[in-house]
Amino acid sequence: MDLSPVELGTVLWEVQQYDTCILEVRKRIEGLPAKHRLTELAAELSEARQARTDRERELEEIGHRQHKLDGELDLLTSKVKVEEQKLFSGTIMNPKELQAIQAEIFSLRKKRDEMETEDLELMEETDRLAAEAAELKAKVETTESSEALAKSVYEKELEELELEIAGLEGERDARKLKLDEETIAEYEKLLAGKAGLAVVKIQKGASCGGCHIQFSATQIDQYEHGEGVWRCQYCRRMLVK
């Protein structure tokens, strides 16, 4: 579509306004509290799951240690009984041999006492870890529920904002249809390279609305008495009235 210089400037300005609004909505999406809450909850959930896994692994390791220790205790108890039977059987009369058996029984009982103490400590540690694992399991479940709720809120807000963006894009694209391909390509190149700001006006104080560099009196005079689209000689953005 052939546009007059004034119409071209007007259309470009309108397109820029819609792109600015779209950018603002996208920033709102990035700043949604529910989005940030989801990030926090994901970190909390990962930490809680890892802690729960660690406790469960520790419980499993202690279970193996306790099972092994119980087997050793049973074997040791059997040895004590065998030695006691020898001692009280009345078949051994040699004092030195009897003394050796008594010493062996004393040593075995001492070792058994130590192992029973260790077994008790393992039981206490098992109870502690089991309680922690239960707490972490509950924390994981609670955090999962919070995450599901935050996700629901975020998805609803996101859907509303994406619909807003779609509406803005529709209005913008309808205006872009009035522009030729070369102008669109140049506009989009500037938009991408100039932080989303391709088309600007001269601000009060005679400076560029993009880079804010002051124009000379001659440049301002040309701008005020001319028509169409100019280019800022400093930042190369499009200047319109």
Range of 38-52, 81-95, 113-127, 217-231 with top mean pLDDT:
38-52
Identify the CA nearest to 159 among candidates 29, 5, 11, 13: 29
Gyration radius (Cα) of the chain, Å? 41
d(CA 48, CA 179): 55
Out of 177, 207, 228, a domain closes at 177
Task: Judge if 120 and 38 occupy the same domain.
Answer: yes
3-state helix, strand and coil shares in percent for the chain, rounded to the nearest 5: 75, 5, 20
pLDDT in tens, 6-64: 999 999 999 999 999 999 999 999 999 999 999 999 999 999 999 999 999 999 999 99
Task: Judge if 214 and 195 occupy the same domain.
Answer: yes
d(CA 94, CA 150): 82
CB atoms within 10 A of CB 225: 7
d(CA 41, CA 153): 14
Cα 49 vs. chain centroid, distance in angstroms?
14
pLDDT in tens, 197-218: 999 999 887 899 999 999 998 8
- Tokens, residue 98: 């009897």
Out of 162, 177, 192, a domain closes at 177
Task: Judge if 115 and 214 occupy the same domain.
Answer: no
Task: Judge if 142 and 170 occupy the same domain.
Answer: yes
Range of the domain at 199: 1-23+180-241
The residue whose two tokens read 């397109």 is 15
What is the pTM (predicted TM-score) of this model?
0.71
Identify the CA nearest to 140 among candidates 58, 56, 46, 54: 46
Q: What pLDDT, on the 0 to 100 scale, is given for residue 90? A: 77
Q: How many residues does the chain have?
A: 241
Task: Judge if 36 and 116 occupy the same domain.
Answer: yes
pLDDT in tens, 159-169: 999 999 999 99
Residues paired with 231 in a beta bridge? 238
Task: Judge if 85 and 184 occupy the same domain.
Answer: no
Task: Judge if 97 and 128 occupy the same domain.
Answer: yes
- Beta strand pairing call for 238-239 and 199-200: parallel
What's 36's domain CATH number? 1.10.287.1490
Task: Judge if 42 and 72 occupy the same domain.
Answer: yes
| Helices and strands of the chain, counted as H and E runs | 5, 5
pLDDT in tens, 144-200: 999 999 999 999 999 999 999 999 999 999 999 999 999 999 999 999 999 999 999
The chain-wide mean pLDDT, for the chain, equals 93
